[in-house]
Structures are given as structure tokens and as C-alpha cells.
Amino acid sequence: MSSSSSAPTGTFTIGPVELDITRIRKERSSDLDSLDLYWRAANFLAAAQIFLQDNALLRDRLEAKHIKPRLLGHWGTCPGINLVYAHLNRLVRDHDFESFLVTGPGHGAPANLANLFIEGAITKFYPQYTDDSDGLNKFVRAFSWPGGFPSHVNAEIPGTIHEGGELGYALSVSFGAVMDNPDLLVTCIVGDGEAETGPTSTAWHSYKFIDPAESGAVLPVLHLNGYKISQPTIYGTMSREELTCLFAGYGYQVRFVERCDDIHADLMTSMEWALSEIRNIQKAARSGKPMTRPKWPMLILRTPKGWTGPKELDGLPIEGCYRAHQVPIKDPATNPGHLKILEKWLRSYGIDEIFDESGKIRERVRDTLPKEKAKRIGLSRRTIGRGEEFMKKLRLPDFDAFQNKIDRDKRGETIASGTWQLGTYLAEVIARNPTNFRIFSPDELESNKLHAVFKTTHRNYQWPTEDGDKVTNLSNRGGRVIEMLSEHTLQGFMQGYVLTHRYALFPSYEAFLGIVATMMDQYSKFLKMAYDVHWRSSIPSLNYIESSTLWRQEHNGFSHQNPGFINTLLNKKSNMIRIYFPPDGNCLLTTMEHVLNSRNYINLVVASKQETAQWLTMDEAIAHCRNGAGVWHWCSTDEGKRPDVVLCGIGCETMYEVIAAAAMLRKDFPQLRVRVVNVTDLLILDSDRQHQHKLNNHVFNALFTPDKPVIINFHGYPSAVKQLLFGRGASTSQKIGLPDGRATSMGGMDEGRFFINGYIEEGTTTTPFKMLVANRCSRFHLAMQAIMLSASNQDVAPYVNERMSFFEYTLKEHEEFISEHGTDPEALYDKEQFAIFGKTATHLQGERLTCPDTHTSAIH
């Protein structure tokens, strides 16, 4: 074995461990030799991928023309990944269980690819990379080459279930993968640089949510090679005692693997020990006598950075320091001396022992691999999927049983919480799907009023708690709900769970979904590439419920007012994103059935948890949500025919204001023709021709008219809707004056007939209606916009000025009431205001009130 030992040697545990290593060294010498040969082969292939574009077998003297023009990749972590990979395959071979590897140092892709080539996975899925000289040359050249493999693990690389471009998520993804997979062992390599991230720091607690009776296990391997890109790592500078105390506090049994002069015997012994400890914990739980606070095993592997590579270059150390992190020899094509060092390094692995005369990998290199190819860790069926082999279809109940009964003649009279209604539905979903559906919630399930799920399940938490905690629906026996105050960890759980073909739901406060925005972004990149890989099967969608929205002002202030996750999603590829705004409970139910049944999407459902007016019958809700948008004829003038202005609501609270504005206009301006539109599927607005849900221009114009002004009252930032509408036909530029005197297109587009209201970063701790007023989304602002934009209607024009003055006066009156009483006037939410939609135009003639002092104020 080619090695140097800059890491400490010796044993942490005296006695049995040393005896075990001595026994392994004596009894398994042949396996140790095979493991070393395999490791050398993987190290050679990893290094060759970084540097070579030709002459991969070095059958000719290495020349500058054989070197890639751009040297990319991360060598420093590769030897450690290769070491763990080799030993995990050997463990599977000897004990015949299901396993795969998650590599947190995701930029160590040359190592993953090297092992996959040896296993045969690369040739299986990419047949052009044959196991011979020609195929090897193509394979080595393909790394970080245009059209080839990327420098980090991603969906194009077999055996991979996470995007390796951003550090911190490997551990939580691994734990998500083993949930409800009782026979699965996932080994997760955590780099010591990655270990510095916040998401990884919390993810060490993940075993506290794993029931060993129903789920598999994760074997964490903390790889300490001491350095990140330009300085030592925190964990690399910690002593054994410090590391032992830290991870014992997390709940682990810690074993160090650091005998660099006998690394294979040390690691083989340690992995056998770890598997034995895991099996003991699982056996106890599955026999009905679970251990209290089980001490799960973890390994701390301490090896030099860039081990087996150049020791130094130009008098500066390489192996064992930060200079080995990426490309340790940066100029071999232009520096003859460095080219010779590179050639000597590559030949040190014993190329002729690894490949035969034809360039085929010698069979003895593969001696430690499982004989059954499907058991090799890069070929795990869990990471690739075979249609419905693992992805059982969700058994969903008939949501009619959970509907709100709506009287069409008294719309808005039923008051209910949409998420509470959804919770009763989800309770039945859980009952019907006890092993393939989970809810991951950041300690907000009850706050978001989904607590009806506790009729059929409980929170899963494995560590013992006080008896008083029984009231919190907590148990260490199963449980489909996992709650913790770490959005990062829950996101990782969900990704691992979904990518191994199960179903999940992530309810969260609206303001804090942004915490997982970069994780979702990395996942979307994985998903995008998976679309293009023929051997990846479809997977269930990632599903978010965004509640506790900015408009309702529950217990929180300005810090909780942030709908920006919507904008983040809109920047992703439109063919994988779905964003829904169900306006009431029945729409929420039918939307969630669609979402849970969907595949290969990232779904966001923005839902209100507070009790509010309910509008549509279930039949209407199904049809409306299927269309994604529609005219609400019952609250439009003459069913929406020939409108002067279109009022459009997107979102529960903002749609309520649209309907309230329509009621005000119906009473004060019966001559004004108003069409009311609701959009529940945001992406129908998209002008991108690629989007499946996009309305074509003919249907779009039929809905919004081709030439009338459209006022959109949107739940989030106006920029989100502007982004979608950009490119839709525009005709005129209209400027109108706001009550505060500023000239603008009401937060809308500079050109065209669309005027977009939404959250404009105005807020504080206040009341729900005051939030709407502050962001100019209230019914009064909508009414003022409507009459100003409809001034060409000669039946309206004579009264515009007086009604504008009255609306401004009323807004001030409301503000005074709110300041004095600390709450909104009850009349604002009086369901009697909607009774006006039942009146005919004849009944309304002559009822218009012409001056403020004869108008009955909403406050009174």
C-alpha cells in the first residue's frame, strides 16, 4: 500500500479492540490485500479523471497533450471516500444486506465515479464507457468535460440521492432515506469541512427520531482529513477526548479509525463492530424490548488530506495539508518537472496490477464486491428506482367526506379553517398509509391547525421524556409526525424519504420556508437533471404547505411577514414547479389530493389557517381547481359579461378583499360592470410557452378580456406576478393617482393594463385589516382603483370624486378605530355584506349613496 502517516496512530480503546484488529489482520489477510488493491484502483481512477484526457492507462510516456486543458475537481477528499466505499461493499458482501453510500463531501465525485466504474454501474447506465482501454479513456476524459460528468455528485451519477453542490445536507438526507426502510443501512461520509455547517450540526440528533423497530440505520463516518480549501477545519483541530465528549453527548458510541499504517485492518474491524451494534439495537426494538437511549455507533476516520498523492511540490507540503484540497498539481501541461511528478504519482498505484493487457479491470480487483450486482452500493435499487417496485401508490380517501357544505344562495356564510379541515383529511391519509407517508413539521403542526392528524398518529420521538409529555401526543413507538425546530434537518429528512420513493408533507410558517430555500434550490437542480436521465424512475413530489401567512397578524410582527419563498420557486424550471392558492377549504382539499398524487414536482400550497368565509361547493371547487382559474359569476356583474374592469384575487385573504370590494361596488355603482376572477394555480399566468399549465393567449384573453383594465390582488410580492405576466400582450400605459398622492401603476407593470397589488414590505405588529391597508390591498384600495380605471363609463364618471373622498375618509375612520380598540371593526367581516350578490340589477337601481354623510359607515 502506498501511504504516509501524518495522522496519529495507536488505539483509543485498549484491549478488545486491539485484539480484534490483530485477529482480523491474521485471519483476513487475503481480504485486506484485496481491499488495498481495490483502494489503489479507485485512487488511480479518481486522480486520472482530474488530469487526463488521453493515455489513461499510461501505456505511453505521459505528455502535455494527454493533460486536460482545464483541471477541475477535488482530490483531497477522494482517498477517504474510496476507502469507505471499498469497505462498505466488502461488508455487504459478507453480511448480505441492503445498503448505499451518501457522500457529504459532494465535490469528491471523482471518487464516486471511480468506484462506480469498478462496480460496473457506469457501464450499465452509460454503455459507451466500456470495461476496456477505449472505454476507460472515454470515461476518464468525461469528468468535468463538456457534456460529461460534473465535478460534484448529482442525479447523473448512479447511487446518488443528493446534490453535492452545497455542503451540510448529507446526514439528514441519509436519515430520511432509512425511515420506514427497516432493512436498509446507509453509510454517510461527513467531511470535517461539512461538519462545520449549521444543518450538519443539528442533524447529528437525527437518531432521536428513528424508531429501530420500523426503520433502518445510518452509520455516520466523520472524515477528518484536517483541512478545507485554505485552512484547518474546526473538527480536525480537536483532540480525541474533545471529539469523544462531543459525540457521546449527541448520543453516539465513537470509534476512531486512524492507524494509517494498518488502515484496512482498522476499518474492517470498526465496520464489523458498527454493524454488530446496529443489529443489537434493532433486534432489541423488534423483539419488543427497545433499549432506552440506545448508543448508536459512529466512526471517526482520521487520514491525511490527499493521502497517497504527492508529498510535496516545489518544497511545499501537499499531502496532509490544504494544498491537496482541489488540484494538487496545477500546471503539468506547461511545467515538465511537474508533469514527471504527476506521472510518477499515477504509476505508483500499480496500473498493471489493476488492468489487464486489454485495459479491462482485473477480476481480483473486484474480489471484495458483492457477487450479486444489485447489492453493490452504487447499484442499490433504492437510489435508482424501478417504477412501482418501491413507490406504492398512496391510498387516498374520498375528500367529499371532509367537505364544507356550502349553500349557493348564502356564499360566505359558512366560516371555517381550511387547514383544520385539511387536518381531518390527512388523519385518514395517515391511517391508510402507515408505512409510506410522513409529515415533517418545524414545531408548528398545531399552530397551523393540522392537529386533527393526532386522531390516527402521534409525534415520533425516541428519547425518554417526562410523563407529563403524554399530553403532547408524543411516543417512541412509531408516529408519522416528526417535529423539530430545524427546517434544514426536516428538509433533509423529506428529501431522503421522497428520493427513496415515499410521500411527504412539509407544513411551515410562511416566513420561515426561506430557511430551506437553498436546500430546495439544490434539490431542484437534482430533479432537473433527473428528468434527463433515462434510468431514473419517477418519484413523489416535494410538498410544502405555507400557512401562518403575513396577512393574518397572529402573534407576530414584521419578522414574520415574508412571502419570498414564492419568488424563489418561480426562478426554478417551470416544468417542475407548482404553486397553488386555494381560496377556501374545499379548494384546499381538492388541491392537496392532486398534490399528493403528483410526481416529480416541487409543490407549494399557500393556505389560510384562520377561520374565514367559505365560497365554493365541493363540485365547484373540483372544477375550479382543475381549471386553475375562473370567473366567479355569482359575485360578478351580470355573471361577468362585458365588464368595465376585472378584479382578480390570488390568495385566500386577498381574494376575500376582492369579493368585499365587488360587494361595495355592486351597492355604490350598480352601473359599473365588474368581473371577478380567482386564480388558484399561479402558473396559469405564465407567458413561458414551455409551461404545461400556462393559458394560451386566446383563453387568457377570454378570462381577463383583451383590452379592459385588470386589478390583481396578490398574496405575495407583486414582482412574482409581474414576472409571470411579462410577455403577455400589452396595449396602453395608464397612470393613476393613489390616495397618498403618488403617481404609479398601483404597484403594477409600467406598461399595459394590469395593475398588481401585493405585499410591498410594509408591516409591523398590527391587525389583519391594517396590514391590508398598509400594503394597499384592502377592499377600499381595490374599489378606488376600479372606479378610477372605469371613469370612461359615463354612468360612473360623475360620482368618482365623491366616492374616492368617501373611501379615503372611511379608511381614516378605520385607522382611528383600530388604534383605539386594538382590533378590526367587526363589520368588516360581517357575512351580511355578501347578501348583495343575491340582488338583481333592478333592485340596485337608485340605491347608490351619493355622499359620505348619508352612508352607513362599516364601523357603525
**pLDDT tens digits, 480-515:** 999 999 999 999 999 999 999 999 999 999 888 899
- Could you tell me the residue range of the domain that residue 235 belongs to? 16-380
Asked if residue 703 is part of any domain, the answer here is no
Taking the C-alpha atoms of residue 48 and residue 701, their distance in angstroms, rounded to an integer, is: 59
Residue 761 dihedral angles phi and psi, to the nearest 5°: 65, 35
Answer yes or no: is 853 within a domain.
Answer: no
pLDDT of residue 802: 86
What is the per-residue pLDDT for 231?
93
Counting Cα atoms < 13 Å in the Cβ hemisphere of 775 gives 30
59 in a structural domain: yes
Instruction: Note the pLDDT of residue 176.
Output: 97
Q: Which regions in the chain score pLDDT beneath 70? A: 1-16, 385-390, 467-471, 553-557, 559, 688-691, 729-752, 839-860
In a domain, 429, yes or no: no
In this structure, what C-alpha cell is assigned to residue 266? Answer: 482498522
- Kindly report the backbone phi and psi dihedral angles of residue 555, in degrees, each rounded to the nearest multiple of 5, phi listed first: -110, 10
Nearest to 164, CA basis, from 175, 152, 174: 152
Cα 431 to chain centroid distance, Å, stands at 25
Q: Would residue 110 count as lying in a domain?
A: yes
Q: Are 418 and 653 in contact (CB under 8 A)?
A: no
Predicted TM-score (pTM) of this structure: 0.91
Nine cell digits for residue 375: 447489492
In a domain, 211, yes or no: yes
Predicted local confidence at residue 852, as pLDDT? 33
Q: Is residue 464 part of a domain?
A: no
Task: Please give the C-alpha separations between residue 594 and each of 109, 417, 437, 497, 762, in angstroms, as whole numbers.
Answer: 37, 20, 15, 19, 34
> What is the spatial distance between Cα 353 and Cα 347, in angstroms, rounded to a whole number?
11
326 contacts: CB under 8 Å, gap ≥ 6: 73, 74, 75, 76, 229
**What is the chain's length?**
860
Alpha helix segments (H runs only) across 362-509: 381-384, 418-432, 487-499
d(CA 343, CA 719): 56
Residue 599: beta bridge partners? 540
Beta bridge partners of 756: 712
pLDDT of residue 859: 32
> Distance from CA of residue 244 to its chain's centroid?
32
The interaxial angle of helices 170-178 and 487-499, nearest 10 deg, is 50
pLDDT for residue 467: 67
- Pick left, alpha or beta for residue 221 (phi over 0 → left; psi -120 to 50 → alpha; otherwise beta): beta
Distance CA 682, CA 491 (A): 24
In a domain, 290, yes or no: yes
Given a contact cutoff of 8 angstroms between Cβ atoms, the answer to whether 609 and 553 are in contact is no
Give the single-character DSSP code of 521. H
Residues 6+ apart with CB under 8 A from 62: 55, 339, 342, 343, 346
CA angle 526/528/529 to nearest 5° reads 70
Q: What total of structural domains would you count in the chain?
A: 1
Could you give the count of Cα atoms lying within 13 Å of 608 in the half-sphere of its Cβ? Answer: 28
How much is the pLDDT for 795? Answer: 83
The whole-number pLDDT of residue 853 equals 35
CATH classification of the domain holding 226 = 3.40.50.970
